[in-house]
Amino acid sequence: MLSIRNLSKKYGKKKVLNQIELQFKPGEISGIVGENGAGKTTLFKCIAGLESHEGEIHHPLKNVKNMSGFLETNPEFLSKITGKEYLQLLCNARNIKNVHFEEKNIFDLPLQQYAETYSTGMKKKLALTGVLLQQNDIFILDEPFNGVDIHSNLIIKELLKSLKEKGKIVLLSSHIFSTLQDTCDHLHYLKAGKIEHSVKREDFKKIEKLMLNAGLSDKVKEFNIK
């Protein structure tokens, strides 16, 4: 069980996250939704140990940072490092040895090519491959489907199912509501730094309705398409 208790985060005087309370169980996939600027990425970075914060992030067995893999929305890579060297670097960080990277190259990436020359989607797939190779217990995936082709989207969905079957804790965000419906067991609506609502799969439509009622449909009407 991963527990988030009274988590708050400020940048200067601006409070980005306000007393977040959440629990995530092994073998479940939880989605975090909200408008841009709601605090999703900041929340993920706090959980992954990449941001300081107030409150507590607790797992009964290990230090959360040492068992978490974080996939950024737009991964960046060191200059002049190949895809294979990047994967080796991430495996070294977890002391994982004797990995046959070509066999693990599920997205058919050009691993001998410099990662900085990859397309946006290829960079996302390389970073995800690295996170998976680290054998983490917690996977924090910020927009894993964004910028990725349809075939790779299907692969990612199957990978998520496999992580769930292995009893991993998976957190993800997506602006594509259908991908959340296809993959998640729980959905949490983050608005202005607070969790407004949390639901199980059968009630996902409630979150969609809440977001529409938050003024999204009014914005479309105000645009007044001719």
Convert the pLDDT of each residue in 80-110 to its tens digit: 999 999 999 999 999 999 999 999 999 999 9
Q: Which amino acid is at 62?
A: K
Q: Which amino acid is at 16?
A: V
Would you give the distance in Å from CA 24 to the centre of its chain? 14
Helical (H) or strand (E) element with 72: none
Please determine, for residue 215, whether its predicted confidence score (pLDDT) is greater than 70. no
Q: Residue 30 is part of which domain span?
A: 2-223
Please determine, for residue 226, whether its predicted confidence score (pLDDT) is greater than 90. no
Query: What does the alpha-carbon distance between residue 179 and residue 15 come to, in Å, rounded to a whole number?
Result: 30
CA distances, 17 to each of 12, 98, 133, 213 (Å): 13, 41, 31, 22
As beta bridge partners, residue 56 has 5
Q: What mean pLDDT is reported for the chain?
A: 91
Please determine, for residue 223, whether its predicted confidence score (pLDDT) is greater than 90. no
Residue range 188-217: average pLDDT? 85
Query: What does the alpha-carbon distance between residue 5 and residue 46 come to, in Å, rounded to a whole number?
Result: 12
Residue scoring higher pLDDT (61 or 168)? 168
Ramachandran category for residue 184: left, alpha or beta (phi over 0 → left; psi -120 to 50 → alpha): beta
Query: What does the alpha-carbon distance between residue 134 and residue 139 come to, in Å, rounded to a whole number?
Result: 10
**pLDDT computed for residue 83 by the predictor:** 97
As beta bridge partners, residue 57 has 4
Question: Do the Cβ atoms of 171 and 14 come closer than 8 Å?
Answer: no
Would you give the distance in Å from CA 216 to the centre of its chain? 24
As beta bridge partners, residue 156 has none
**pLDDT computed for residue 35 by the predictor:** 87
Query: What does the alpha-carbon distance between residue 215 and residue 204 come to, in Å, rounded to a whole number?
Result: 18
CA distances, 81 to each of 33, 53, 77, 111 (Å): 34, 32, 7, 10
* pTM of structure: 0.91
Please determine, for residue 184, whether its predicted confidence score (pLDDT) is greater than 80. yes
Note the helical H segments in the chain. Answer: 40-47, 83-93, 120-133, 150-165, 177-183, 204-211, 217-223
DSSP states of 147-169 as a string?
T--HHHHHHHHHHHHHHHHTT-E
CATH number at residue 138: 3.40.50.300
pLDDT band of residue 222 (cuts 50, 70, 90) is confident
Total domain count, the chain: 1
pLDDT band of residue 214 (cuts 50, 70, 90) is low
Please determine, for residue 45, whether its predicted confidence score (pLDDT) is greater than 90. yes
Q: Which amino acid is at 30?
A: S
Please determine, for residue 132, whether its predicted confidence score (pLDDT) is greater than 70. yes
Residue range 187-193: average pLDDT? 93
